[in-house]
């Protein structure tokens, strides 16, 4: 039986749901408050659109109940999503498990989705601000343009992250008005800020490091990769991966710190001590500030020497064993107190959202018959590497399979 389906939000999940529902034979309308659909897709993968990842281990997904994501993926796996896009015209390439369109153009993904919407007769209403959604015998949606009535509604309005793409958090209010509870939205995949004054000196440095995050002194996460030092704190993919832990802990009033191992290739503090002693013996006339040149970025090495209260012009042959131990300790365990994350504006996604305990695994509400949620508005988010788009595709397709 053909139904009138309204989809609030024309992002990745909303468009995927619209294509799916229209292929089920339904009359589909997308209501989008921006002047065009799919803006955020253009930013993904640095403009190349990392569609998904071949490694779909559940630990890449986060929320109050990550198992909810697993239940959705059983209905639409990453291979199912790939088949969906292959059918629409996207040929992919694999870069270390990250899958991109072969053209490496995010615009290609958006284009094939738009073409699919057009060819399947999906009506797209842009610059349409939702004022209310009410359910009686059908769904009545009031907007600043005209009222709409639908048999079923999918809310795929995104989160509060990257507001410049249209994600303003308005979907959260609609969810609450329809009786749903929210897990508090917080920035995720975002930079971490510190008040330490030395960051102005270190801004722009990139280095491979191993990172541990501590919340009230307890280790709660570990990442490895390219760390970026900024004038306000820490950035880079490993920081993004840990940021949702930091955001939640800070929101709870906990003390948060990141411990950095600047030489993860060396197994222990003692290995670094031995290595530095070898450098000292081989070039005893070097100064302390020259000791770490060729090991760490020059500015970083100078900072560590200064933090150890060692004069930069001190000859290394005059360094004591305790001096070498202090330097080694900072290389292996440089602790940065974190005071905040960057804002929702700088975040790539949000943690939190509609509580999955109030949703069936079909993404239909347990509270309101015929109401569905898809994408980032739900309390599921993923790591960097195509995981958030995979959640958007899978949740959109599953929500779009409205059969009755």
How large a percentage of the chain has pLDDT more than 70?
Answer: 99
pLDDT of residue 127: 96
Residue appearing with tokens 């389906």: 5
E-assigned strand segments in 295-339: 334-338
The CA-atom distances, in angstroms, between 367 and each of 7, 68, 356 are 18, 17, 12
Q: Which residue has the higher pLDDT, 49 or 161?
A: 49
Asked whether residue 292 falls in the same domain as residue 359, the answer is no
Asked whether residue 272 falls in the same domain as residue 210, the answer is yes
Host H or E run for residue 214:
strand 206-215
Residue appearing with tokens 């100064």: 287
pLDDT of residue 386: 96
**Residue 56 burial (CB count, 10 A):** 20
Q: List, for residues 276-309, the tens digit of each pLDDT value.
A: 999 999 999 999 999 999 999 999 999 999 999 9
Listed in sequence order, the residues at least 6 apart from 278 whose beta carbon sits closer than 8 Å to its beta carbon are: none
Within 13 Å of residue 183, how many CA atoms lie on the same side as its CB?
22
Listed in sequence order, the residues at least 6 apart from 83 whose beta carbon sits closer than 8 Å to its beta carbon are: none
Asked whether residue 180 falls in the same domain as residue 260, the answer is no
Closest by CA position to 109, among listed 132, 133, 136, 81 = 81
Asked whether residue 166 falls in the same domain as residue 217, the answer is no
User: Whole-number mean pLDDT of the chain?
Assistant: 96
Asked whether residue 160 falls in the same domain as residue 198, the answer is no
Phi, psi of 122 (to 5 degrees): -75, 130
* Calpha distance 10→33 (Å, rounded): 8
334, 262 Cβ separation under 8 angstroms:
yes
Asked whether residue 292 falls in the same domain as residue 354, the answer is no
Number of domains in the chain: 2
Listed in sequence order, the residues at least 6 apart from 281 whose beta carbon sits closer than 8 Å to its beta carbon are: none
User: Which of these ranges, 75-84, 167-176, 214-223, 373-382, has the smallest mean pLDDT?
Assistant: 167-176
Strand order in the sheet with 92-95: 52-53, 98-101, 92-95
pLDDT of residue 404: 55
Asked whether residue 386 falls in the same domain as residue 266, the answer is no
153, 175 Cβ separation under 8 angstroms:
no
Would strands 334-338 and 256-261 be described as parallel, antiparallel, or unpaired? antiparallel
Host H or E run for residue 202:
helix 199-202
254, 213 Cβ separation under 8 angstroms:
no
Asked whether residue 269 falls in the same domain as residue 135, the answer is no
Burial zone of 9 (CB within 10 Å; 0-12 exposed, 13-18 middle, 19+ buried): buried
Average pLDDT (345-367) is 97
* Calpha distance 120→136 (Å, rounded): 29
**Residue 213 burial (CB count, 10 A):** 24
* Calpha distance 63→353 (Å, rounded): 9
pTM more than 0.85? yes
At 1, is the pLDDT very low, low, confident or very high (cuts 50, 70, 90)?
A: confident
Listed in sequence order, the residues at least 6 apart from 298 whose beta carbon sits closer than 8 Å to its beta carbon are: 292
pLDDT of residue 46: 87
How far is C-alpha 171 from the chain's CA centre?
Answer: 19
Domain CATH for 393: 3.50.50.60
Asked whether residue 287 falls in the same domain as residue 388, the answer is no
At 94, is the pLDDT very low, low, confident or very high (cuts 50, 70, 90)?
A: very high
pLDDT of residue 160: 87
Phi, psi of 306 (to 5 degrees): -65, -40
Token pair belonging to 101: 């369109």
Q: Which of 323, 341, 359 is the last residue of a domain?
A: 341
Asked whether residue 287 falls in the same domain as residue 174, the answer is no
184, 352 Cβ separation under 8 angstroms:
yes
**Residue 169 burial (CB count, 10 A):** 18
pLDDT of residue 169: 85
329, 269 Cβ separation under 8 angstroms:
yes
Q: Which of 304, 326, 341 is the last residue of a domain?
A: 341
Average pLDDT (90-96) is 96
Q: List, for residues 40-81, the tens digit of each pLDDT value.
A: 999 888 899 999 999 999 999 999 999 999 999 999 999 999
Q: Which of 341, 368, 390 is the last residue of a domain?
A: 341
Asked whether residue 196 falls in the same domain as residue 225, the answer is yes
Residue appearing with tokens 């897990």: 183
Residue 268 lies in domain: 191-341
Helices (H), 252-313: 269-282, 298-307
Strand partners, 305: none
* Calpha distance 106→46 (Å, rounded): 9
Average pLDDT (352-378) is 98
Asked whether residue 152 falls in the same domain as residue 11, the answer is yes
294, 323 Cβ separation under 8 angstroms:
no
């Amino acid at each position: 039986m053909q139904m009138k389906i309204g989809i609030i939000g024309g992002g990745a999940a909303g468009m995927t749901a619209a294509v799916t529902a229209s292929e089920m034979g339904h009359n589909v309308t997308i209501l989008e408050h921006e002047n065009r659909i799919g803006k955020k897709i253009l930013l993904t993968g640095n403009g190349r659109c990392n569609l998904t990842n071949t490694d779909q281990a559940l630990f890449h997904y986060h929320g109050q109940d990550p198992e909810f994501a697993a239940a959705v993926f059983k209905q639409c796996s990453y291979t199912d999503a790939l088949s969906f896009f292959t059918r629409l015209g996207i040929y992919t390439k694999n870069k270390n498990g990250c899958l991109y369109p072969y053209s490496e153009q995010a615009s290609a993904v958006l284009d094939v989705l738009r073409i699919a919407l057009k060819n399947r007769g999906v009506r797209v209403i842009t610059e349409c601000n939702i004022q209310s959604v009410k359910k009686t015998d059908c769904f009545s949606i009031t907007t600043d343009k005209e009222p709409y009535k639908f048999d079923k509604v999918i809310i795929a309005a995104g989160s509060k992250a990257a507001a410049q793409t249209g994600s303003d958090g308005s979907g959260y209010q609609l969810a609450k008005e329809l009786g749903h509870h929210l897990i508090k939205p917080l920035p995720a995949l975002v930079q971490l800020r510190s008040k330490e004054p030395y960051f102005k000196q270190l801004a722009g440095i990139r280095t491979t490091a191993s990172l541990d995050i501590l919340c009230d002194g307890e280790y709660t996460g570990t990442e490895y990769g390219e760390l970026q030092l900024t004038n306000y704190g820490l950035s880079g993919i490993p920081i993004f991966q840990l940021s949702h832990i930091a955001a939640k802990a800070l929101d709870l009033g906990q003390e948060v710190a990141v411990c950095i191992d600047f030489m993860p290739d060396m197994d222990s503090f003692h290995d670094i001590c031995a290595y530095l002693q070898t450098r000292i013996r081989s070039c005893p006339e070097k100064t302390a500030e020259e000791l770490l040149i060729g090991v760490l970025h020059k500015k970083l090495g100078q900072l560590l020497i200064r933090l150890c209260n060692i004069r930069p012009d001190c000859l290394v042959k005059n360094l004591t064993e305790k001096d070498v131990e202090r330097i080694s300790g900072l290389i292996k365990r440089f602790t940065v107190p974190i005071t905040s994350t960057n804002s929702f504006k700088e975040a790539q996604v949000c943690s939190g959202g509609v509580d999955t305990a109030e949703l069936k695994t079909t993404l239909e509400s347990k509270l309101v018959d015929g109401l569905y949620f898809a994408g980032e508005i739900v309390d599921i988010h993923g790591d960097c590497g195509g995981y958030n788009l995979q959640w958007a595709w899978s949740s959109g397709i599953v929500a779009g399979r409205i059969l009755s």
